[in-house]
Amino acid sequence: MTTYGSNHESWGRWVRSKPARVIDVQWSSELPRVDDLVLPYGLGRSYGDVCLNNGHTLLDVSRLNRIRHFDVEQGILDIEAGASLDEILRLIVPRGWFLPVTPGTKFVTVGGCIANDVHGKNHHRAGTFGCHVSSFQLVRSDGTRLRCSAGENPELFAATIGGLGLTGLIVSAELRLRKIESSAIVAEREPFRSLEEFDRLSRDCDASHEFTVAWFDSSSGRNSKGIFFRGNHAGAEAGAPVVTRRRARRLPIAPFSPFFGPVAVRLFNTAYFRANARGEPRLADYDPFFYPLDAVANWNRIYGANGFVQYQFLIPDGAGLEPVAEILDRAARSRRASFLTVIKRFGSVPSPGLLSFPRAGLTVALDFSTRRSDALLPLLELFDDIVEAAGGSVYPAKDARMSASRFQRFFPQWVEMKKHVDPGYSSSFWRRVTG
Amino acid sequence: MKVAIIGATSGIAKEVAKIYAARGAALFLVARDGEKLDSVERDLRARGAQQVERYLADLSDLSLHDAIVSAAGSAVDVVLVAHGVLPEQSKVDNDAQAQVEAFELNATSVISLVARFATVMEAQRSGVIAVIGSVAGDRGRRSNYVYGSAKAAVHAYCDGLRSRLSAAGVSLVLIKPGWVDTPMTIRSKKNALYVHPEAIARGIEKAIERRSATVYLPGYWRWISLLVRLLPARLVRF
């Protein structure tokens, strides 16, 4: 199920934005010439404002989604950039292939995965999504059509991967897929009782498991409980690959949701922890393993009318655990509910993008309701201080509020990036952090 | 299985073609724009279509219809007639010529093709003809009566033809989609009743499989449409 007829907002729904117009881009042979600043828009799963273009033009590419070529022997898929990972899985899984890297939702487009150089549970092995893109076609606002790869237009290739959609329209891309013998995942869960314990577990498992991630009940700061999820693709003995067909439910969410306060979050976290405490290996379906939240089509609505922000930061290797621990402690003390705190160790595979977020270290994603945002914003500013002092950064794909000066210090390469930004392209995010 | 799709680059037809491609069908595609058809063809081949034949034609030119039907060849199991245009009503309100052109594409050219395929299938004594009508054809509305009147003509034509073909074992399936989120409705403001063309396509495949007579897609449009038809004209201003 791909959501069409989108209202062209962002996933966090906190940043209010109204594009001057939305142009449907369906055919690569029929690209519009627009006399305004444009930004490609896919399925709107970016949390903040990297997918918004307030007062200007959005190019809705969600129907630019045809396969150009699928080499089933070699696992090379050439596909238009508006195709969703959901559509791709339905095509490739029955033929014994899987996405080399996937984020936590399948309702994102290939173009969006490249533009945000997204990562997944296997970052410590496979690096980012961009590591598996061998080439793509880019159309600039002056009509120039370029093939970009490590060998052709390499600078634009690097600037476009993680380039937040600002270098032109990615029309199609060629992906190198991962071979699988079964669509099942041999999954294990292991509870842990502190950040330190997580760190030990993660270091132990990264060599033995392709997929690792942890869920953290951050209500007690660094000494919170959590569950460590790890897994590997199952072998042929688990049965032939099949596509999971799960029907997404919709929460009947009212515009305001008073019952989702801190108490409810605590109850939810405790229940979730109990339900997941046992951890013997079992065969899990790939869909609930990789995309647990896709089961609820509109989970972003649980935060009510004001929406929410997600704060995802990175503390590089070498800075130790203390900066992460301090942020977790402060988040817990603020008593601001975070439904899902996700923590993951990134590996050292270099990201191919100029502005890519992942590098070796720990990354944590915290959700905050934006009710009483006047108190939230200073708290996040404080987190920024800790992240900056540790030499880390904040993930633009999730961001809705970091200051221009902060962004420019987190990503000093933005100066280089600026040279590659198409003069006809812009976004709410880009104007905010460079304006 | 051989499936002919008329208007193969349209929003709904493309999704139906994807389903049959995945089933390994041989496809015969008719459309006007070669570059668009190229990209549709590549997509369908990658999805497993056993064969893709293509035919470029402007369907408003009725003199090409004989050639189209003979190019489709014999032993066509399913033909889906899906081409059409939704004119912006307010722009054509005072343009008789534009109204007639839209009517000719949506009604005359559809009837012209369906009639020809009916002759072929009646002779081969098998096959399914699926035609895309519309809930807009159930009652003329101020906002789309040019489109709606053409669909109404197609509906009446299909009802009669279905009776004739049944003796030869040929089925005629009339599809009446409600509001579908396709390029045709790009100008309309989307509400909760708009559905993804993929869902409509699955319904079309099922209707063809079951050889249904008339199907509303999604099914609840049967009731909406009934209500709309029952409203007295004196009160209706939509």
Q: What is the pLDDT of residue A259?
A: 53
* B219 touching A (Cβ < 8 Å): no
Q: What is the pLDDT of residue B189?
A: 67
The predicted-structure confidence for B63-102, as pLDDT tens digits, reads as follows: 999 999 999 998 999 999 999 998 888 888 899 999 999 9
The predicted-structure confidence for B160-199, as pLDDT tens digits, reads as follows: 999 999 999 999 999 999 888 777 676 666 677 778 888 8
Cα nearest neighbour of A77 on chain B: B46
The pLDDT of residue A278 is above 70: no
Cβ within 8 Å of residue A258, ≥6 positions away: A304
Q: What is the pLDDT of residue A5?
A: 45
Among B40, B183, B186, the residue with its CB nearest the CB of A66 is B40
Residue with tokens 């999954």: A187
Looking at chain A from residue 367 to 426, which residues have their Cβ under 8 Å from any Cβ of chain B?
Answer: none
Chain B interface, best mutation among A66, A77, A91, A145, by max B CB count within 10 A: A66
pLDDT band at A16 (very low <50, low <70, confident <90, very high): confident
Element (H, E) at A135: strand A133-139
Dist. CA B144–CA A125, nearest whole Å: 56
The pLDDT of residue B17 is above 50: yes
Dist. CA B126–CA B171, nearest whole Å: 8
Mean pLDDT of chain A: 90
Cβ within 8 Å of residue A298, ≥6 positions away: A250, A251, A253
pLDDT band at B144 (very low <50, low <70, confident <90, very high): confident
Asked if the bond preceding B218 is cis, omega within 30° of 0, the reply is yes
* B36 touching A (Cβ < 8 Å): yes
Among A5, A66, A91, the residue with its CB nearest the CB of B39 is A66
Q: How far is A6 from chain B (nearest CA, A)?
A: 8
The pLDDT of residue A160 is above 80: yes
The predicted-structure confidence for A363-414, as pLDDT tens digits, reads as follows: 999 998 888 778 899 999 999 999 999 999 999 999 999 999 999 999 999 9
pLDDT band at B237 (very low <50, low <70, confident <90, very high): low
The pLDDT of residue A255 is above 50: no
Among B35, B42, B186, the residue with its CB nearest the CB of A67 is B42
This complex has an ipTM of: 0.84
In angstroms, how far is CA A266 from the centroid of its own chain? 25
Question: CA dist A142 to A23, A38, A178, B35, B51, Å?
Answer: 17, 12, 36, 21, 38
Among A5, A29, A91, the residue with its CB nearest the CB of B36 is A29
Looking at chain B from residue 142 to 171, which residues have their Cβ under 8 Å from any Cβ of chain A?
Answer: none
pLDDT band at A1 (very low <50, low <70, confident <90, very high): very low
Q: What's phi and psi for A251, nearest 5 deg? A: -75, 135
**Strands A361-369 and A308-316, sheet pairing:** antiparallel
